[in-house]
Amino acid sequence: MYNKTASDTAESLRSKNELFLRLRSSLQLEAKIKIEAACRTANERIENIKKTKAQFETFISEFTKMRRIGKIDLNTEEAVDIILTHVNKYNNELWGHDIQVTDQDGNIVMRIADRTNNVCEQEFGKVKSDERRSSGRKNLGLNLIERPASASLVQNLRNEQYVKIVCGGSIDNLPILFAQIDNGNFPNLEERCKKYNEKAFTVFESGRLPRADQRVIRSEKFQAKIDSIESESA
């Protein structure tokens, strides 16, 4: 009986994974490098997105038809419902958009934003991989809580354009730039920091409490206070 249950579970996961892979393939998420190599201009990227979107709509129409007819097993039906629910919710955000920017010569050119947040996800994956290699821990919750947010900015130094704009073309200029900040010679630094802080001030919703709050809640005094309130209420 156990082997049959395990076999059914494996078959269910295999079936759902196949649908998921078909979804990623229809969105061409795995072909990003090939697309960038083939589409050198913004117009070529737009045409590629139109083609991909048409193929994706055909793929979703097939799924919708499968769901309407109902001639699918329970596992496939569940996976199809999940895919259709997310497509209905996020479909308009899957195709990127064009942005007009001014290049260094003053010409207005068009750039195409990434269609998904895959770039951010991949970068976060690298961060976790580096943390895991340096600490040897499987659970990285504590590492990521204590890791300064600014630590991720160091990765930008691998980007030639970032180095050109921020560091004047070479990371060898970093000591000079930091010295300018320390000496107060950075133009309008105080005003710019003030404006940034005003914009950045907000309340972030999160399921995880700050570590300082965690210590309070887990302390014996806090628990004793809760017990006291419960006893008085009873």
* 41-75 confidence digits (pLDDT tens): 777 877 888 888 888 888 888 878 877 776 667 77
In a domain, 129, yes or no: no
In a domain, 206, yes or no: no
Q: What is the pLDDT of residue 194?
A: 67
Q: How many other C-beta atoms lie within 10 A of the C-beta of residue 79?
A: 20
63 exposed, middle or buried (CB, 10 Å; 0-12, 13-18, 19+)?
buried
Q: What is the pLDDT of residue 204?
A: 40
Q: What is the pLDDT of residue 203?
A: 42
Q: What is the pLDDT of residue 174?
A: 84
Q: Whole domain around residue 66: which residue ranges?
A: 2-116
Residues of the chain with pLDDT under 50: 1-2, 200-206
In a domain, 185, yes or no: no
Q: What is the pLDDT of residue 147?
A: 80
In a domain, 204, yes or no: no
Q: How far apart are CA 23 and CA 233, in angstroms?
A: 54
In a domain, 231, yes or no: no
In a domain, 91, yes or no: yes
In a domain, 29, yes or no: yes
Alpha-carbon distances, residue 107 vs 110, 112, 130 (angstroms): 10, 16, 40
What is the sign, positive or negative, of the torsion defined by CA atoms of 172, 176, 181, 187? Answer: negative
Q: How far apart are CA 119 and CA 96, in angstroms?
A: 13
Report CA 190 to chain centroid distance, whole Å: 31
Q: How far apart are CA 131 and CA 141, in angstroms?
A: 11
What's the one-letter identity of residue 219? S
8 exposed, middle or buried (CB, 10 Å; 0-12, 13-18, 19+)?
exposed
Q: How many domains does the chain contain in total?
A: 1
In a domain, 86, yes or no: yes
Q: How many other C-beta atoms lie within 10 A of the C-beta of residue 83?
A: 19
